[in-house]
Structure 1
């Protein structure tokens, strides 16, 4: 499988290729200064410069089975990862962006990170408890997790709005997977999309203007890879939704926050048979 790491500019409508490889890489995050991306591949994390040079491995200590649920803190100093080498199930850790020893945050497993609050104090993630997928938050300083959804369908992919007032997520509570949002205290669950697609991985832009969504065909329930999908953009309340473009992708294309700091661009991975 060939992976093409690319950046799309929503102002100009253009897309540029940053790096291509015959290996499977996934889920690019922009650094807070906009100078590099963080990607994962083969259970490891890499720093990918935007100048086209080869990626450099980030030292994640014992965590060598990282999945595609990773990202950077608002101040750019910390990296959050989801890794299963220690317990055999995905757990969430934080470590310095330059590398170091991961610190465990979620003893309850499995847990898959997806969002960091704008004030840097709280993480949002999907937790599977007794085979039920729900949205949780937990303080970065460590503490008890807080459950925000309660088994109404499958709930996944939480990400914070730029002002921290909402957590967006995808849910199958009405049948087809659609985008919802909820307050950080779990109140006011509100449906955002009512589309013919299976909508996943909502990512609010840093300027608070746009919501980016990965959309499968309507009969696809989960988020598999190797399918024709579309990236859609809309207002924060779901209005003015439109397709930016279609691509071969799915799992790994944009599982986690992928906007540039100025909100003009986003990174993603396009796949093709090698």
Structure 2
């Protein structure tokens, strides 16, 4: 009965009309949620000045002042945002918002500039659900823009020059038309009020070129990100790239990420900065199947520089080498590395036969000797990765009729299916350093059973217990796929995972 009453009250608030208070381009403004002091909005000489109390825009419910106008479809809203005064709380928030309704727990997306300069894309995907965020690498932006394109929201930021550039990161959220679009301020302390000004506010429908083929030929921008696997599961932008990068590894000292782009292997500080190429000699057609040895000293690469274009596997020092050591060269197969045994002695890789297109899992000892099959048919077997104790091998396979995550003994025996959602295609399981969790990338049914293409909308990063004792939970949703998280990418402390999200250039 109480639950029903609460729902009725929420619906009533949703529908309750607010007397029109047109200010500038906005049809109305009002307080949302529990605000101790009524907010206000004025417009003069091209600037909006908003004052508000409210505890926060976060969690399952918000408290802030909002100015809005109804809009539908694709939309960009941009403004310069400046705070008045030093303020009481460094996390006071002023920003641009798209909101489904006027309830405190409404689905929404916004770009918030905090009092301390931190800027993030916040979003609540479900009514009364939790809030998540993607933190920009840029502090104290001179201007920000919130962007809705299809079912994705993303954002851009500008430095001192005022030029807006994509901040990176996006989230898939399905708003129902129309949405409320406008300006928002919360004091982050309901006992006080804070004031922010919004200058040169622009609201535009973007002109987006049609992209007939979003596959490998499509031009994309890339964002290297890290996500917390527990708590609020915040995403943080390490760096945004104007072109394509793929497959981050996390170095064992926790200080850097390693990824591939333009056929080379690159290293970048995990806090952001300038990437530096790792020398790989004549091997300059590296693909996204690379990784770091358990002791952190060596790098394994999968490279296609030979004239036959077959992927071969090489090992070299993490610092680089002009002469990487060839370890796997199969004249009848393409070989893609995926796993390194915790004792450092054995590599697990995917062997793709050139004569029969078979996808099987093989192993090769670094000390030498012949390669040997571990997991062979039926169907596609891919993405092998060892557990930290060396007892198990995790992989994805179609042997059940769906692309699912499996676990076998390290020698390939006794495979056990771990994921069972018939509506998902699950790929590339990565095991946490303590062996308790696996993270993997999951596609929808818009992809073929045996495919893991790039640039797909229905893509999620999911997490589940490594023993399969509980079903997967979604960490985040993104525009991505191939290249997002092909290889091991857990932080050494097991608290974060690195990945790549994408955006079509159009």
User: How far apart are residue 142 of structure 1 and its match?
Assistant: 2.1
CA distance in 2 between partners of 1:49 and 1:226 (Å): 26
> What does residue 85 of structure 1 align with?
305
Contact 2:436-2:467 within 8 A present in 1 as well: no
What pairs up with 1:65-76 in 2 under 5 angstroms?
65-76=285-296
What pairs up with 1:211-230 in 2 under 5 angstroms?
211-220=438-447, 221=449, 222-228=451-457, 229-230=459-460
CA distance in 2 between partners of 1:185 and 1:10 (Å): 30
Contact 1:198-1:219 within 8 A present in 2 as well: no
- Superimposed CA distance per residue, residues 42-87 of structure 1 (whole angstroms, 9 cap, x where no aligned partner): 0000001123211000000010000000000001110000001125
CA distance in 2 between partners of 1:55 and 1:237 (Å): 37
> What does residue 45 of structure 2 align with?
none
> What does residue 204 of structure 1 align with?
431
- Superimposed CA distance per residue, residues 76-124 of structure 1 (whole angstroms, 9 cap, x where no aligned partner): 1100000011252000000011110111111213100001111111111
Contact 2:264-2:285 within 8 A present in 1 as well: yes
CA distance in 2 between partners of 1:11 and 1:151 (Å): 36
- Pick one of 455, 458, 463 that aligns with 1:233: 463
CA distance in 1 between partners of 2:432 and 2:368 (Å): 27
> What does residue 177 of structure 2 align with?
none
CA distance in 2 between partners of 1:48 and 1:107 (Å): 29
CA distance in 2 between partners of 1:121 and 1:65 (Å): 26
1:94 maps to 2:303: no
> What does residue 348 of structure 2 align with?
124
Contact 1:167-1:182 within 8 A present in 2 as well: yes
1:165 maps to 2:391: yes
TM-score normalized by the length of structure 2: 0.53
Q: Identify unmatched segments of 5+ residues in structure 1.
A: none
User: How far apart are residue 2 of structure 1 and its match?
Assistant: 1.0
Contact 1:47-1:56 within 8 A present in 2 as well: yes
> What does residue 237 of structure 2 align with?
17
User: How far apart are residue 266 of structure 1 and its match?
Assistant: 0.5
1:107 maps to 2:329: yes
Contact 1:204-1:236 within 8 A present in 2 as well: yes
- Superimposed CA distance per residue, residues 158-200 of structure 1 (whole angstroms, 9 cap, x where no aligned partner): 1111111111011011222111111122211111111120000
CA distance in 2 between partners of 1:106 and 1:61 (Å): 17
| 3-state SS of paired residue (2:486) | coil
> What does residue 224 of structure 2 align with?
5
Runs of 4 or more, structure 1, over 4 Å off, are none
> What does residue 38 of structure 1 align with?
258
| 3-state SS of paired residue (2:484) | coil
> What does residue 143 of structure 1 align with?
369
User: How far apart are residue 219 of structure 1 and its match?
Assistant: 4.5
- Pick one of 234, 238, 245 that aligns with 2:476: 245
CA distance in 2 between partners of 1:219 and 1:167 (Å): 28
Q: Identify unmatched segments of 5+ residues in structure 2.
A: 1-219
What number of residue pairs does the alignment pair up? 274
| 3-state SS of paired residue (1:260) | coil
- Pick one of 406, 411, 417 that aligns with 1:185: 411
TM-score normalized by the length of structure 1: 0.97
CA distance in 2 between partners of 1:248 and 1:219 (Å): 13
- Pick one of 363, 376, 379 that aligns with 1:153: 379
| 3-state SS of paired residue (1:158) | strand
> What does residue 502 of structure 2 align with?
271
